[in-house]
Structure 1
Amino acid sequence: MSQVACSQSGTETLSKAYTSFPKAIDPQCRNGKARIFDECGDQPTLFTTALARANSEGKVLLVEYGAEWCIWCHVFDAHINGGHGEFRYTYGMPQDPEVRHTQKMLEEESGVESVQAKTLRDFVAANFVVVRIDAQYAPNGKAVLTETGARKHYSGGLPFIFTVDGRAKFAANFNHDTAEKRRDTEVNWYRGYDRTDLLQQLTLMRDRAKAGTATGTGS
């Protein structure tokens, strides 16, 4: 059983199986609270740097527009990085994003999760560069949505995950409704993704980005 700690204290370097941006978080940014989003930097510059890396490696840029308080942002990060079994997430609430809660969650395993997790992790590493664009505190995160043409596909929830083609134009977005796995009982609370659905959607999102045609949702 693997354990994924999705918001570890005392670390600024972001170690991932895949290539991701930001590469590191400035510990001086908002007292070093953030772990996966750059809450102070210029978001269009971050996006442009990540796109250049994706193009140079022949990969597709996968954009995650989200925030540190967003639990599903951390869930997505853990799953595409190969996490399975036991997870620990630190997150907040949109109405009070500064307050943090940490919760351990156990996946109900059937015996195939470790294989599925590795397959998903390897697929993401081979096909994508991931960039996280901050929606909460960075001054110009929405500019990335506008400049890529993704804004008209954005319904307002976080995370909003989409791909762009090599010219930075919107290609397809992720449909959370079909992929989410959740338990809402107080003693067995869980948030996760169906890895088969997630892999299928990411494959379509990659293909549509490579084809250079904007088609909306990945499912």
Structure 2
Amino acid sequence: MKRIMYVLIAAAGLLWSNPAFISPATAEPLIKLPETPIRSCRRGRAKLYDECSNQKQLFAAALDRANAEGKTLLVSYGAEWCIWCHVFDAYINGEKSRFSYKFASPDAPNMFRRATLYEREKSDVSAKAAALQKFAADNFVLVHIDAQYAPRGEAVLKRTRALAHYNGGLPFIFTVNKSGRYAAHLFYNRVETRRDSTDWYRGYNRQKLIAELKRMKAAAQR
């Protein structure tokens, strides 16, 4: 059953040195596929996913792009209603402090609501946010594969052999090697942060997320 993964398990701390701040205006953008919004698909409401096109063809195009760029393909298998899908995209694109999302639930994927979440950081996270964005842009091409409406979404999991590692939660984020075979997936319990209260929040520990992405990239290069 598709569901948003909300499990948070305490992870061991990682040493971190503050990187030099990189201005978002000068940073190389992360290459993402598909390019959205797609006006001809479901009234053009989707921000991340192409909910209409053949996802296996989209994956093939993304793999070709990653290989041409000399980068690793990072796959986010998810859905437009999935808030963690939007959280992940926001973080690796360098967003910080204030996040606005439009999301729904797996049981009612068309009943969207909006939320503005505040990170409420204890210190300035600009340098860490910029470092995460730069690492993602320098090392990955990101493809969003739709699990809800588009055809051949699950076929991507089968084609990559990632299906054996999929537990049903969204997003399922993984890397593939140059041949498009599953390499490693993101362990959410190592990187997620959340507040469950009237001041609820969903986010990531950026240092630990970089460490996870490094591990996933290394697995794809073996």
TM range (shorter): 0.7 to 0.9
Task: Tell me the residue number matched to 1:197.
Answer: 208
Partner AA of 1:118 in structure 2: A
Contact 2:81 2:106 in 1 (8 A): yes
**Aligned counterparts of 1:122 and 1:151: Cα–Cα separation in 2:** 29
Q: In structure 2, what is the equivalent of residue 63 of structure 1? A: 75
Q: Structure 1 residue 33: deviation in Å?
A: 1.8
- Structure 2: gaps (5+ residues): 1-27
| Alpha-carbon displacement from aligned partner over 1:5-55 (angstroms, at most 9, x marks no partner) | xxxxxxxxxxx9200100233212111121110000010110010100100
Aligned partners of 1:112, 1:154: CA distance in 2, in Å? 36
Name the stretch that deviates more: 57-66 or 21-30: 21-30
Deviations 1:50-85 (A, max 9, x none): 100100111000000000000000000000000111
Task: Give the deviation of 1:139 after TM superposition.
Answer: 1.6
Task: Summarize the alignment of residues 93-172 of structure 1 with structure 2, pairs less than 5 Å apart.
Answer: 93-172=105-184
1:53 aligned onto 2:65: yes
- TM superposition shift of 1:194: 0.7
Partner of 1:19: 31
Letter in 1 for 2:95: G
Aligned counterparts of 2:127 and 2:38: Cα–Cα separation in 1: 35
Amino acid of the residue matched to residue 106 of structure 2?
P
Tell me the CA shift for residue 112 of structure 1: 4.2
Runs of 4+ in 1 over 4 A off after TM superposition: none
Task: Pick 1 or 2: higher relative contact order, CA cutoff 8 A, min separation 6.
Answer: 2
* TM-score, scaled to structure 2: 0.86
Once residues 102 and 50 of structure 2 are traced to their aligned partners in structure 1, the CA distance between those partners, rounded to angstroms, is 16
SS in 2 for 1:24: coil
Matches of 1:26 and 1:78, distance apart in 2: 19
| Corresponding residue number in structure 2 for 1:44 | 56
1:68-119 CA distances to partner (integer Å, 9 max, x unpaired)? 0000000000000001111111100000000111111111212241111000
Measure, in 1, the Cα distance between the counterparts of 2:188 and 2:208. Answer: 10
Q: How many residues align?
A: 195
Higher mean C-alpha deviation, range 70-79 or range 17-26 = 17-26
Instruction: Supply the distance in 2 between the matched residues of 1:206 and 1:23 (Cα, whole angstroms).
Output: 23
Corresponding residue of 2:18: none
What's the TM-score once normalised by structure 1's chain length? 0.87
Partner of 2:192 in structure 1? 180
- d(CA) in 1 for partners of 2:211, 2:188: 12
> 1:85 maps to what in 2?
97
- Secondary structure of the structure 1 residue equivalent to 2:178: coil
The 3-state SS of whatever aligns with 1:192 is: strand
Identical amino acids, percent of aligned pairs: 48
The question of whether the paired residues in 1 share the 8 Å contact of 2:36 and 2:49 is answered with no
